[in-house]
Amino acid sequence: MVAVVLALNSGSSSLKYGLYAVDPEPVLLVSGTIETLDDDGHDHARFFDTIETALKGWPVPTVIGHRIVHGGPRRDAHCRIDDAVMADLEAACAFAPLHGPASLALIRAARARYPGVSQVACFDTAFHAEMPDVAKTLPIPRAYQAGGVRRYGFHGLSCESIVRQLGDDLPRRLVIAHLGNGASVTAVLNGRSIDTSMGLTPSGGVMMATRTGDLDPGVLLHLLRERGLDAPALATLVDHASGMAGVSDLSGDMRVLRTAETADADLATRMFERSVCKQIAAMIASLGGADMLVLTGGIGENDAPTARAIRAGLAWVPGLETRILASQEDAQIARHAAALV
């Protein structure tokens, strides 16, 4: 029986949707993107008005799959959504306040619009769930670790899609650099994640469009003590006002920065490129060498200067093949959703 899956990929500023026929491989029927940056967090019904208009004339979904950025400490495998899963997702919002509440609101809206249709949660953290303790454990007191404070890793659906696309060409030691508005680098050994640049939240690792990436924690303590910034102000600084946007004082959009003729814009792009190279080098260390590097995500797939800079910055790595592949997160959501129902 053909499953008709509506895949919903909710990000921090947009909602991507795709309708797939899965039998057994997903075939895209129709897709689109809705900008959500100015949404007040309550009117998700209007998103489904837009989606239903686009789906008019196509088969009605038999299952809906949701990309969930953070599953929290209790959810590390894709699953059907029930009340117990919803409770765990509520708790996980503490780890991903940028993404979690929007995802929950979208699930509730989907349940209301499609009563009786199965809903599936596909976790970006699932791909990294079996990382070894040396990668998963953060250097903090054990008392905090017991509360779920550890490295989770993200962009897991993207990494899954790269591993799948490589198929028989999958090398033993692979580094995946997902470079977009959010960016992370993952070390993959024999198809499994063993280390990754993002940590407890999607804010760490590579310098990003508006996120700091890895930052001396003393900077935040200094701003707390000397400048009087409170927790909400620090959260805004870390996730929304820093990265390439903060350095350039212009934009976090690589396309804007590439055409800007300012020294700060040039510095921001060079810092991003250096940050990516450093994280790739770290993943090579975790792997004990690397056979292939894959660039994916909006910047990784489309920004040629970034690809050239990364190749040049890693010219010292012997025998490193570099490929550019498209991230196929939505197709992965469709596969998992069809399999789970």
For residue 43, pLDDT over 80 is answered with no
201 located within any domain = yes
Average pLDDT over residues 250-274: 97
Same domain? 304 vs 213: yes
Over residues 216-234, mean pLDDT = 97
Q: What is the mean pLDDT of residues 219-248?
A: 97
The Cα–Cα gap between 170 and 162 comes to 9
Q: Say if residue 173 is in the same domain as residue 317.
A: yes
Average pLDDT for 269-276: 98
At residue 201, does pLDDT exceed 90? yes
Q: Final residue of a domain: which of 123, 154, 179?
A: 123
Residue 143 lies in a domain: no
Task: Residue 13: give the domain boundaries.
Answer: 3-123
Q: Are residues 177 and 56 in the same domain?
A: no
Q: Return the pLDDT at 42.
A: 53
In angstroms, what is the C-alpha Rg of the chain? 20
**One domain, residues 27 and 103:** yes
Q: Shortest CA distance to 83 belongs to which of 46, 121, 45, 127?
A: 121
Higher per-residue confidence, 325 vs 95: 325
How much is the pLDDT for 45? Answer: 75
Indicate the range of 103-117, 156-170, 281-295 predicted with least confidence: 103-117
pLDDT, residue 37, reads: 60
* pLDDT, tens digit, 9 for 90 and up, residues 160-195: 999 999 999 999 999 999 999 999 999 999 999 999
What does the alpha-carbon distance between residue 107 and residue 114 come to, in Å, rounded to a whole number? 10
Instruction: State whether 312 and 176 are in the same domain.
Output: yes
Omega prior to 97 cis, within 30 of 0: no
Q: Check pLDDT > 70 for residue 51.
A: yes
Q: Is 261 exposed, middle or buried (0-12, 13-18, 19+ CB in 10 A)?
A: exposed
Same domain, 88 and 215: no
Residues 6+ apart with CB under 8 A from 175: 185, 186, 187, 188, 280, 283, 284, 287, 290, 292, 293, 294
Q: Which amino acid is at 38?
A: D
pLDDT on residue 96: 85
CB environment 300-319: b (16+ within 10 A), e (fewer): bbbbeebbebbeebbeebee
State whether 94 and 202 are in the same domain. no
Q: Which two tokens stand for residue 265?
A: 């814009």
Tell me the pLDDT tens digit for each residue of 299-332.
Answer: 999 999 999 999 999 999 999 999 999 999 999 9
- DSSP per residue over 17-59, as a string? EEEEEESSSEEEEEEEEEE-TT--SS-THHHHHHHHHHHTTSP
Q: What is the CATH number of the domain that holds 231?
A: 3.30.420.40
- For tokens 């990929």, the residue is 9
Model pLDDT, residue 39: 52
3-state secondary structure of 327: coil
Are the C-beta atoms of residues 8 and 64 closer than 8 Å to each other? yes
If you ran DSSP here, which 8-state letter would residue 2 be given?
Answer: -
Residues 275-295 have a mean pLDDT of: 98
What's the chain's average pLDDT? 95
| Cα 42 to Cα 301: distance, rounded to the nearest angstrom | 33
Does 80 share its domain with 220? Answer: no
Would residue 180 count as lying in a domain? yes
The count of domains in the chain is: 2
What confidence tier does 44 reach under pLDDT thresholds 50, 70, 90?
confident
pLDDT band at 97 (very low <50, low <70, confident <90, very high): confident
User: Which has the closest alpha carbon to 322: 289, 287, 294, 298?
Assistant: 294
* 191 shares a domain with 320: yes
From 76, 124, 169, 249, the catalytic residue? 124
Q: Is the overall model pTM greater than 0.85, yes or no?
A: yes
38 catalytic per annotation: no
Query: Is 331 part of any domain?
Result: no
Find all residues with CB under 8 Å of 171, minimum gap 6, and list them. 291, 292, 321
162 lies in a domain? Answer: no
Taking the C-alpha atoms of residue 159 and residue 260, their distance in angstroms, rounded to an integer, is: 32
Query: What DSSP assignment string belongs to 228-294?
Result: ---HHHHHHHHHHS-HHHHHHTS-S-HHHHHH---HHHHHHHHHHHHHHHHHHHHHHHHHTS-SEEE
**Residue 307 placed within a domain:** yes
- For residue 130, give Cα distances in angstroms to 53, 142, 291: 41, 19, 22
Is 174 in the same domain as 318? yes
Q: Identify whether 222 is part of a domain.
A: yes
117 and 18 belong to one structural domain? yes
Residues 196 and 105 both lie in one domain: no
Give me the sign of the Cα torsion angle 52, 58, 61, 65. Answer: negative
164 falls within a domain: no
